Structure 1
Amino acid sequence: MLLTIGMMVKNEEKHLKECLEALTPIRNELDTELVIIDTGSDDKTFEIAKKFTDKVYFHEWNDNFSEMRNTVISYAKGDWYFSLDGDEIINNPETIINFFKSGKHKKYNAGLVTQKNYTNLEENRFSKILVPRIFKNDEEFHFEGAVHNQPQYKKPIIALDTILDHYGYVTSDPELMERKFQRTSNILKDELEKDPENIYYWFQLSKSYNMHKDQEDGLEAIETAYEVAQKNNIDLRKRIYIYIQLSKMYLVNNRYKMSEKIAKEALSVKDGYVDLYYYMARAQLMQGKKEKALVNFKEYINLINNYDQTNSKIDTAVDDETMGNYNIAYRFIVALAADLEIETDYAINSAFKIDIDSQLQYAIHPFI
């Protein structure tokens, strides 16, 4: 068998049917199997899954994501393994079909796909990150880490054009967000008791607090990550995500000078990150540094327009959270240009690129 599509699910009835239907072209064109492990659903997840495959199994949840994912792998018979979640929908399945049918898979041991994480559907807010999801199912392939688990695999790896639309963090669903926060934050706290200098777990705890609107706790967690990294001489050039989260948390806690400082520090270490320019521009705007804010909003837009060539796209550890904020950036560009009475042509062109009515109304006001 060529490919196992493996999934670990719990209470995924909202998106599971669409998720599994989107796999139909892959399953029709390639020699595949679909293996699903349910870890304790009390909705219609199990029934939906059974309509698509007879390889649905139950394993009780044990607060360890990697152990559950490795259990799914233990059922896999495919030479390759595609890891998918029940709230993800493959946007362009032909990219995976072509990867195998072209024979390109024979040159690689793993494949990266783009995960498009929606946070607000009404405002088209999303982030993007390259994630490894397709693996040669050899003796070395497995997952590690109790939460935010990391796949272990051999190189070389190829970046595919595959896009996974992910709906697991849509903030307009408060019940879902609360459930995920309690689950994830509790596991992270347990892991940090065992390993208090794990900066990745401090970073993830900060993100969890931020999504839960516990902003002071989120800042404290990422400050701890940064301080531990400094104390232990950890090279943050390979962990730019620490800088990005720290700049963001200073921003949301109204500490604009520190947000700007950290963004500048990060960009001096490694340039080309979408979020850093956006957070720096917002921080400068709040400090009244209008000219600098305009310059950095424009650079943010430039990086968005040339995303495939940026460090943001290449860095698989960075989830570019501000990818969907271009409408807001255009709005500020228009307002700043009008206020400063400079770059009027650029501002007007920017206004025409806004695709959300509420932001457009703000943008065109200075020219009416």
Structure 2
Amino acid sequence: MIVKNEEDTLANCLNSVKEIVDEIIIVDTGSNDRTKEIAYSFTDKVYDFEWINDFAAARNFAFSKATMDYQLWLDADDIIIEKDKAAFLDLKKTLSPEIDIVLMNYNYVVDNNNNPIYSFHRERLLKRLNNYQWNDPVHEYIEYRDNYLISEIAVTHKKIDAFSDRNLKIYEEQLRKNLPFSSRSLYYYARELRDHKKHIEAIKFFNKFLDTKQGAPGDNINACLEIGKIYKVLGDNDNALKYFFQSFSYDIPRAESCCEIAAIYKENQDYRKAIYWYEHILTLEIPNDASIIMVDSWNFVPAIELAVCYYNNGDIEKAVYYNEMAGKFKDKHESVLHNREFFKKERSKDFFYKEYKH
């Protein structure tokens, strides 16, 4: 782990892993709170690293201190919950020495029961003898190819930190110094620009990333999605649709893109097209790769939106059907409960109207 001023999160993280790992290595990059004191209560392997605006350099220093067969990395606001701890211990017993890297789910946004809302895979467990190196100063990553295992074990993110311009400043310093950007850095710089509402610049750098043609399919899809969302914010639905549809050129259509397309048609009260795209989503399978997954986009969102679209299209029976489908995914959701009562009243009015006419 690399840490700085993490007194509010570090103990929670380390308590969640102390029984499943064989050594704990903490690299501090300049804390002025109780972070190091907390770290020493779990391990004597606490090291200082002078911060040089380079997360990869700090992580490589941390990896250099490891002595076990495999290295697990975490951030201070990550935890491993009980069911994943058990699965992790099983993996330690059964992992083939042929495996170099294990990809694990990163449940980046979760609900109150730790069910994933926003999730993707990351390189998480790495064979030490291969001397893997972290790359890029921000949103650092490790390149991997063969001999990896995709595991369903998850690391759960418990983000509590405030909005920061730290990463944006590192990228801007790179620009000022005329330092080269990897294709991946272009993508993440564009995301930082998006987060800081620098919309036109964000579109420019997402397109620069796409123009490199070096991105993984999932990142290309997400770049198109982000450009489309920015155009929606700017009130330009034509360009938004262009980029949502462009995402299909990189892989089989993803639910996240289809949801955005359907939402535009729904907003325009073109319910026939909205219904087509929402129903199409329910035929798709969630990919088991490194893609970023918004879980609700694959099931709950299309179902609940179909209930609305079919009602507005005059088909209350299908509206009821899809509302109940949405309830199978989230039975206590306020929209499901509201719709259930609303449709019950509408059906009653329809029944009395037909009886009256008769």
Bin of the TM-score, shorter chain as denominator length: 0.7 to 0.9
**Partner secondary structure for residue 156 of structure 2:** strand
Q: Could you say if the C-alpha distance between residues 269 and 67 of structure 1 is closer, same or farther in structure 2, counting changes exceeding 3 Å?
A: closer
Q: Could you say if the C-alpha distance between residues 137 and 124 of structure 1 is closer, same or farther in structure 2, counting changes exceeding 3 Å?
A: closer
Which entry has the higher C-alpha Rg, 1 or 2? 2
Deviates more, 1:233-242 or 1:39-48: 233-242
Deviation at 1:131, TM superposition (A): 0.5
Distance 1:255 1:284 in 2: 13
Deviation at 1:22, TM superposition (A): 1.4
Q: Could you say if the C-alpha distance between residues 75 and 198 of structure 1 is closer, same or farther in structure 2, counting changes exceeding 3 Å?
A: closer
Question: 1:295 is matched with which residue: 276, 296, 303?
Answer: 276
Aligned to 1:336: 309
Deviation at 1:124, TM superposition (A): 7.5
| Structure 2 portions without partners, runs of 5+ | 346-358
**Partner secondary structure for residue 112 of structure 1:** strand
Question: 1:33 is matched with which residue: 23, 29, 42?
Answer: 23
Q: TM-score scaled to structure 1, two decimals?
A: 0.81
Deviation at 1:323, TM superposition (A): 2.2
Q: Does residue 350 of structure 1 match 2:340?
A: no
Deviation at 1:120, TM superposition (A): 7.3
Matches within 5 A, 1:133-144: 133-144=124-135
**Partner secondary structure for residue 23 of structure 2:** strand
Aligned residues with identical type, % of pairs: 21
Matches within 5 A, 1:277-288: 277-288=258-269
Distance 1:234 1:19 in 2: 35
8 A contact 1:256–1:287 mirrored in 2 = no
Q: Could you say if the C-alpha distance between residues 167 and 109 of structure 1 is closer, same or farther in structure 2, counting changes exceeding 3 Å?
A: same
**Partner secondary structure for residue 260 of structure 1:** helix
Q: Could you say if the C-alpha distance between residues 219 and 360 of structure 1 is closer, same or farther in structure 2, counting changes exceeding 3 Å?
A: farther
Matches within 5 A, 1:1-368: 7-27=1-21, 32-91=22-81, 92-102=84-94, 104-118=95-109, 126-153=117-144, 155-168=146-159, 176-179=161-164, 182-193=165-176, 194-195=178-179, 198-212=182-196, 214=197, 217-227=198-208, 229-230=210-211, 237=217, 239-303=220-284, 306-307=285-286, 310=287, 313-314=288-289, 316=290, 318-320=291-293, 322-324=294-296, 327-342=300-315, 343-353=318-328, 354-355=330-331, 357-364=333-340, 366-367=342-343, 368=345
Deviation at 1:33, TM superposition (A): 0.7
The residue identity in structure 2 corresponding to 1:75 is K
Aligned to 2:355: none
Deviation at 1:154, TM superposition (A): 5.6
Q: Could you say if the C-alpha distance between residues 207 and 235 of structure 1 is closer, same or farther in structure 2, counting changes exceeding 3 Å?
A: closer
8 A contact 1:281–1:293 mirrored in 2 = yes
8 A contact 1:11–1:41 mirrored in 2 = yes
Deviation at 1:251, TM superposition (A): 2.8
8 A contact 1:260–1:284 mirrored in 2 = no
Q: TM-score scaled to structure 2, two decimals?
A: 0.83
Deviates more, 1:140-149 or 1:246-255: 246-255
8 A contact 2:4–2:28 mirrored in 1 = yes
